[in-house]
């Protein structure tokens, strides 16, 4: 009985955690409502010109003890980023080409869900895929610039807090999808610049190592993260997270070898 209780508490861990704590990767619980029907999935990349934006916390969240302070100005060179998350069929092609490793276990299933975001790819696998594709993982600063624009949107979609009717987020709310969906299924989860699923679906690995105090000393131009670390950063919400974690400045982090169902990635290039 005690073991059963402990297992239940662990399974509910995300829902029990308060704002400001890192929820970490979660298993795919399955279930959820009907998946939205979709047409052709989006393709291509969105280019951002060189420029300055404000990175880090905003408003009341700056008062919280967290890793997203201080807010600071960052100058970025021009870059391009994928319009959507890398999908499972694309990753499968990389495996067939001999350049990517097969995730061990998890819910990666390119025959069943070929157009869902890549799942159960570690940071190392994500990095290998983007290299094979002739691209690279975005830096943390590039991802945040793409998510929040130059108008410092607190959420990728603007000022309004998202819910699982506008993006594939939800944590353990049984009214939400609770699983990945085909990329671009949420016509409302698209930024002003045309990027899909920056709010939800899968969270997304970025290139940087994680350090909680990095923003206090990061370079003002093209920051690439600490030189080393124990965790890599992932950004954006997912079907496994409530809206708090979908803030455009929220910083998730976990070990680079972790292979989580709710963490995928998209690629970038100069
Ligand atoms: Ca996403």
Q: Ion ligand 1 — residues with CB under 5 Å?
A: 197, 201-202, 236
Quote the ligand 1 centre to 124 CA distance (angstroms).
Answer: 18
Annotated domain spans of the chain: 1-17+41-270
Q: Using the predicted structure, report yes or no on whether residue 1 has a pLDDT greater than 70.
A: no
Task: Provide the percentage of residues in the chain whose pLDDT is more than 90.
Answer: 73
Q: pLDDT higher for 41 or 94?
A: 94
162-189 per-position pLDDT tens digit: 999 899 998 888 888 889 999 999 989 9
- Which residue in 25, 34, 168, 174 sits closest to 106, CA to CA? 25
For residue 228, whether the previous peptide bond is cis, meaning omega lies within 30 degrees of 0, is no
Quote the ligand 1 centre to 49 CA distance (angstroms).
Answer: 22
Quote the ligand 1 centre to 200 CA distance (angstroms).
Answer: 5
pLDDT of amino acid 63: 86
Task: Provide the percentage of residues in the chain whose pLDDT is more than 70.
Answer: 86
Quote the ligand 1 centre to 198 CA distance (angstroms).
Answer: 4
Angle between helices 88-96 and 123-132 (to 10 degrees): 70
pLDDT of amino acid 2: 34
Quote the ligand 1 centre to 184 CA distance (angstroms).
Answer: 10
Q: Under CATH, to which class is 1-17+41-270 assigned?
A: alpha beta
The answer, as to whether pTM is greater than 0.85, is yes
Distances (CA, A) of 233 to 81, 83, 97, 144, 188: 17, 20, 27, 12, 25
- Which residue in 244, 243, 241, 233 sits closest to 261, CA to CA? 241
Q: Using the predicted structure, report yes or no on whether residue 266 has a pLDDT greater than 60.
A: yes
């Amino acid at each position: 009985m005690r073991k059963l209780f402990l297992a239940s508490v662990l399974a509910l861990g995300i829902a029990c955690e308060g704002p400001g704590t890192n929820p970490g990767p979660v298993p795919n619980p399955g279930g959820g409502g009907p998946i939205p029907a979709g047409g052709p999935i989006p393709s291509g990349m969105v280019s951002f010109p060189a420029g300055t934006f404000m990175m880090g916390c905003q408003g009341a969240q700056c008062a919280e003890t967290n890793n997203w302070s201080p807010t600071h100005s960052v100058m970025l060179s021009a870059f391009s980023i994928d319009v959507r998350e890398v999908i499972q069929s694309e990753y499968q092609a990389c495996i067939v080409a001999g350049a990517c490793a097969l995730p061990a276990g998890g819910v990666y299933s390119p025959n069943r869900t070929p157009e869902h975001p890549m799942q159960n790819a570690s940071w190392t696998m994500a990095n290998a895929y983007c290299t094979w594709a002739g691209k690279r993982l975005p830096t943390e600063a590039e991802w945040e610039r793409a998510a929040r624009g130059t108008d410092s949107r607190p959420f990728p979609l603007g000022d309004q807090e998202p819910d699982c009717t506008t993006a594939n987020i939800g944590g353990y709310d049984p009214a939400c999808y609770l699983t990945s969906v085909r990329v671009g299924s949420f016509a409302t989860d698209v930024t002003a610049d045309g990027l899909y699923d920056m709010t939800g679906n899968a969270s997304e690995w970025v290139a940087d190592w994680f350090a909680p105090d990095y923003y206090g000393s990061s370079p003002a131009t093209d920051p690439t993260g600490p030189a080393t670390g124990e965790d890599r950063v992932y950004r954006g919400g997912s079907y496994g997270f409530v809206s708090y974690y979908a803030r455009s400045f929220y910083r998730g982090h976990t070990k680079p070898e972790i292979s989580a169902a709710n963490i995928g990635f998209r690629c970038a290039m100069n």
